Amino acid sequence: MELFRLGISEARDLLRRGEVSAKDILDAVFSRIEAVEGSVKAFVSLTRAEAYERIETLARTGDDGSLAGIPLAVKDNICTKGIRTTCSSKILEGFVPPYESSVTEKLNSSGYVLVGKTNLDEFAMGSSTENSGFFVTRNPWDLERVPGGSSGGSAAAVAADECLGALGSDTGGSIRQPAAFCGVVGLKPTYGRVSRYGLVAFASSLDQIGPITKCVKDAALLLNVISGHDKRDSTSVPVEAPDFTSGLDREIRGLRIGVPREYFIEGLDPDVERSVRDAIEALERLGAEVVEVSLPHTGYAVATYYILATSEASSNLARFDGVKYGFRAEGKDLIDMYMETRASGFGPEVKRRIMLGTYALSAGYYDAYYRKAQQVRTLVKSDFEKAFEEVDVIVTPTSPTAAFRIGDKVSDPLQMYLSDIFTISVNLAGVPAISIPCGYTTEGLPVGLQIIGKHFDEAAVLNVSYAFEQSTGWHERRPGIDRLNR
């Protein structure tokens, strides 16, 4: 048995039955990392010494938490006390947080083992992980292609079996799109379901932390651990979280599934459309009723998002000035030091977004851009509310294409931004959504199916996802990284 190929729930069952030890699994995972990480480059930092110390502590204390001994990875924009957190940016290259994020605090309480911090587009700004300040992560299905972004390191690590699961963050599709590109499961919870305390902010009204896993059940297990109200986060909603694993196996017969006409558009890759249409037919065979719905303001979502997200980024990233923490450049005076620090500390995409946001917020343009974008955001949210009066969930492609080649879009920001055209509206509306594998292109690349739910109805999203997953088995296919790595 190759233990590194286990999912979270499979490993947990083996550990509880005493058939393997936590050290056995950890040994297998680090052996796997040694074998493939040189090609994939999913991790910014590995925490081998801390991981082995952790399982020794767990063995001494007899910890039997829900994730006791399970090796997971965490995206490197989520603070981990005493462990470097860089946001894949030169400006935070040496930053070691003095506190723990809420989600990793909860993971610690559950007994998890951190194997490393994963690469991302700098400050989570990107759709390919090519904007990392350190290096490009590669897709385990084809090492010449991107893993998606910004949580590309987490998705690639899970797909390459370098961990049993991971956390990512999603501002406009940054969990779901890389999950689709890498053939794994990625869940963005409802905004406010999971605390953002300790997540380095990109766009505070859009950011949300969520799981990236090998199957739907594992996503539900992780969501059980990380969700819940947190008084340290003013946007955390005091809504009781159910056990997300308890209703996974309910029948979906009679559920109404909405298919928005605006998501099957010119430019949608034929292989992606074929796989998603086949998935919709599979859901019908399981007894679901398919209903065409309309989300009429979808066409405005990308423009709206890139005004709001960049405006919030401009505000949030003002704190990185070389004074309090992180990288500091030399300057002839204070203002010069600020300018030199930010000029050399931030990469091109981060600078582009700061400038866009600063412009949108500036005097004379605020009403024309930022205020109007907020009004359109309300319309996008209303679209979902009206659609959900008719249906239980909405099904769409996750991305208009499968993983593209490294370098294909990095010099054309608009084409890169359009990679998230099907995921952005979900963040604007604050609703939950998941990407699950639903097929492959003629080139053998994974295709993702996006399932969107009502506010705080992750249970329905997971139920439909699990029913599809169990009836098709697409998630069981693994990338040919062993062959590619030779």
Q: Which residues pair with 176 in a beta bridge?
A: none
Beta carbons within 8 Å of 90's beta carbon, 6+ residues apart: 133, 327, 344, 345, 346, 347
Closest by CA to 227, choosing from 188, 271, 177, is 188
How many whole angstroms separate alpha carbon 435 and alpha carbon 396?
9
How many whole angstroms separate alpha carbon 216 and alpha carbon 213?
7
Closest by CA to 70, choosing from 119, 3, 168, 120, is 3
Q: How many CA atoms lie within 13 A of 380 on its CB side?
A: 25
Closest by CA to 465, choosing from 444, 478, 451, 455, is 451
Closest by CA to 461, choosing from 425, 439, 437, 435, is 435
The alpha-helical segments, DSSP class H, found in 346-452 are 348-361, 372-387, 413-417, 424-429
Q: How many CA atoms lie within 13 A of 113 on its CB side?
A: 33
Catalytically annotated residues: 75, 150, 174
Give every strand in the sheet of 208-213, ordered side by side.
Answer: 43-46, 113-118, 71-75, 165-170, 208-213, 185-188, 433-440, 446-453, 393-397, 256-260, 289-293
The per-residue DSSP string of 268-331 comes to --HHHHHHHHHHHHHHHHTTPEEEEE--TTGGGHHHHHHHHHHHHHHHHGGG-SSSSSS-----
How many whole angstroms separate alpha carbon 447 and alpha carbon 462?
18
The alpha-helical segments, DSSP class H, found in 388-442 are 413-417, 424-429
How many whole angstroms separate alpha carbon 427 and alpha carbon 207?
8
Structure tokens at 413: 């920001």
How many whole angstroms separate alpha carbon 381 and alpha carbon 399?
20
Query: What are the two backbone dihedrals, phi and then psi, of residue 405, each rounded to the nearest 5 degrees?
Result: -75, 145
For residue 286, the tally of other CB atoms under 10 A from its CB is 17
Closest by CA to 396, choosing from 425, 416, 417, 430, is 425
CA dihedral sign of residues 379, 381, 385, 391: positive
Q: In Å, how far from its chain's centre is CA 257?
A: 24
Beta carbons within 8 Å of 189's beta carbon, 6+ residues apart: 208, 209, 210, 223, 227, 432, 458
